C-alpha cells in the first residue's frame, strides 16, 4: 500500500474522533494536539481482549470497565462488572473522581473503538492518566473471546496457547468452563501499569 494511502487510513478515523469529541467550555485542556498525536502514534492506550478477560476472571481489583455507549445499549449487554458513563456525559463533574485517579485502571469500551477513543482523548487532553481503550471494542471481544477460531495445524504453539486461553475464558465468562493460564500468552495478556497522579482521588464503582 502506498504511503499516502496509509496516511489517509490514519488521518480520516482520527479526524472523525476529534470532530465527535464534545465541546469543552469549562475544563482547560493540558495536552497540545501534537502531544496527543504523539501518544496516539504509540497505541499504548489499547488493552487487548485477552488481558481484559484475564483481569475479569482473576477479579483484579485494579480493573474498572467503563461502557461509554448509551444507557439503552449498556442495559442490553455489558461486560461483567462494567459501569456506564456515556461519552456525552464524560465531562460532567460527577464523574471526575472516576476518570481522574490513580487507584483503578479504567478501560473504556464501545461497540468498536471510535467512541471509546473519543473518551480516551478527552481524558488525556485533560491530563488524566490510567485510562485505556479495549482494543477492537465489543465487536472484537465477541470474535476473540466468545467465539475464537481454532488455529491452523501449522500455526506456532503460541497461537494454540492463545486459542486455549480464549476458549476457556469465553466459557468461564459465559457461565462455565475451565480456566487456562495466561503465562504463555506474552504481550497479549499484559495489563497496563498504573501511573501515579498528582492527587489521589477516591474511586467508586467497578469490578
CATH classification of the domain holding 115:
3.40.250.10
Residue 57 lies in a domain: yes
The domain boundary, picked from 79, 112, 140, lies at 140
Please give the model's pTM, rounded to 2 decimal places. 0.76
Which residue, 43, 35, 191, is CA-closest to 124? 35
Query: What pLDDT is attached to residue 96?
Result: 94
Considering the domain architecture, whether residues 175 and 85 belong to the same structural domain is answered as: no
Query: What pLDDT is attached to residue 12?
Result: 54
Each residue's pLDDT expressed in tens, for the chain with a length of 207 residues: 554 554 444 455 555 555 555 666 667 777 777 888 888 888 889 999 999 999 999 999 999 999 999 999 999 999 999 999 999 999 999 999 999 999 999 999 999 999 999 999 999 999 999 999 999 999 999 999 999 999 999 999 999 999 999 899 988 887 434 444 444 455 455 666 667 764 444 444 444
Task: Quickly list H helices, the chain.
Answer: 3-20, 33-42, 49-57, 71-76, 96-99, 114-125, 137-141, 157-173
Query: What pLDDT is attached to residue 110?
Result: 97
Considering the domain architecture, whether residues 51 and 135 belong to the same structural domain is answered as: yes
Cross-strand pairs, 105: 63
Query: What pLDDT is attached to residue 200?
Result: 47
Considering the domain architecture, whether residues 156 and 132 belong to the same structural domain is answered as: no
Cross-strand pairs, 134: 47
Residue 7 lies in a domain: no
How many domains does one find in the chain? 2
Distance CA 89, CA 141 (A): 24
Considering the domain architecture, whether residues 44 and 118 belong to the same structural domain is answered as: yes
Considering the domain architecture, whether residues 120 and 47 belong to the same structural domain is answered as: yes
Residue 123 lies in a domain: yes
Tell me which residue range forms the domain holding 182: 151-187
Residue 204 lies in a domain: no
Residue 172 lies in a domain: yes
Query: What pLDDT is attached to residue 180?
Result: 46
Query: What pLDDT is attached to residue 207?
Result: 46
Residue 10 lies in a domain: no
Residue 196 lies in a domain: no
Amino acid at each position: 500500500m502506498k504511503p499516502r494511502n496509509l496516511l489517509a487510513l490514519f488521518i480520516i478515523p482520527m479526524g472523525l474522533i476529534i470532530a465527535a469529541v464534545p465541546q469543552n467550555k469549562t475544563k482547560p485542556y493540558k495536552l497540545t494536539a501534537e502531544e496527543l498525536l504523539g501518544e496516539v502514534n504509540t497505541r499504548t492506550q489499547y488493552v487487548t481482549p485477552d488481558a481484559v478477560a484475564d483481569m475479569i476472571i482473576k477479579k483484579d481489583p485494579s480493573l474498572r470497565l467503563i461502557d461509554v455507549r448509551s444507557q439503552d445499549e449498556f442495559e442490553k449487554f455489558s461486560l461483567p462488572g462494567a459501569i456506564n458513563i456515556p461519552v456525552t456525559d464524560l465531562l460532567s463533574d460527577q464523574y471526575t473522581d472516576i476518570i481522574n485517579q490513580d487507584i483503578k485502571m479504567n478501560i473504556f469500551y464501545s461497540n468498536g473503538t471510535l467512541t471509546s477513543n473519543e473518551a480516551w482523548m478527552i481524558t488525556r487532553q485533560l491530563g488524566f492518566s490510567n485510562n485505556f481503550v479495549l482494543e477492537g471494542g465489543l465487536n472484537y471481544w465477541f470474535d476473540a473471546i466468545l467465539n475464537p477460531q481454532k488455529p491452523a495445524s501449522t500455526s506456532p504453539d503460541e497461537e494454540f496457547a492463545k486459542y486455549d486461553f480464549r476458549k476457556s475464558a469465553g466459557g468461564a465468562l459465559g457461565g462455565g468452563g475451565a480456566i487456562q493460564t495466561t503465562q504463555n500468552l506474552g504481550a497479549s495478556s499484559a495489563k497496563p501499569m498504573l501511573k501515579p497522579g498528582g492527587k489521589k482521588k477516591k474511586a467508586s464503582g467497578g469490578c
